[in-house]
Amino acid sequence: MKKSHLFVGLLLGATLSAVALSAPNVTGKWSGTLQMDGENDAKPAYSILNQDGNKLSGSVGPNESEQDSFEGGKVDGDKLTFDVPQGPNGEGSIHVEMQVKADQMTGRATWSGPPPHRGSGKISLKRVVEK
């Protein structure tokens, strides 16, 4: 009887560990491209993310020095969602939805705001390896 309880405990512990390991931690720097719909040239994209459980905050921009901050993002399994306020009075935003696979993530960004600040595009990022 004791062996079966030990086995069940070990099995449960292994299962919970596997689930915890499968959820990505996206904290760090990510670099890649933004391909706007209807445009031929990809633009650089750079994100600095901070994950705390299922909460996400950070900043995004074309490079590490030009960043727009956000808070209130969410991590749900391998999916990220967040909104980046735009404009001096927050009159627009960028809605971002990404899917994480190991050290890469892909997804879409959609701009909403007064014209001409509207549109959407595909984002592809890789984790920046710090040296």
Residue 82: inside a domain: yes
Q: pLDDT, tens digit, for every residue of 39-76? A: 999 999 999 999 999 999 999 999 999 999 999 999 99
Q: Into how many domains does the chain fold? A: 1
Residue 48: inside a domain: yes
CA-to-CA dists, residue 63 to 3, 48, 68, 88, 96, angstroms: 56, 10, 11, 20, 17
Residues near 61 by beta carbon (within 8 Å), at least 6 away in sequence = 45, 46, 67, 68
Whether the per-residue pLDDT at 103 is higher than 80: the answer is yes
Whether the per-residue pLDDT at 118 is higher than 50: the answer is yes
CATH number at residue 109: 2.40.128.20
Residue 13: inside a domain: no
Whether the per-residue pLDDT at 15 is higher than 50: the answer is no
Residue 69: inside a domain: yes
d(CA 46, CA 30): 6
Residue 98: inside a domain: yes
Residue 3: inside a domain: no
Average pLDDT rounded to a whole number, residues 8-23: 45
Q: pLDDT, tens digit, for every residue of 77-92? A: 999 999 999 877 777 8
Residue 84: inside a domain: yes
User: pLDDT-derived band of residue 22, with 50, 70 and 90 as boundaries?
Assistant: low
The more confidently predicted of residues 27 and 115 is: 27
User: pLDDT-derived band of residue 96, with 50, 70 and 90 as boundaries?
Assistant: very high
Residue 14: inside a domain: no
d(CA 15, CA 130): 31
Domain with 38 in it: 26-127
pLDDT at 12: 43
* Phi, psi (degrees; rounded to nearest 5) at 91: -75, -5
Whether the per-residue pLDDT at 21 is higher than 90: the answer is no
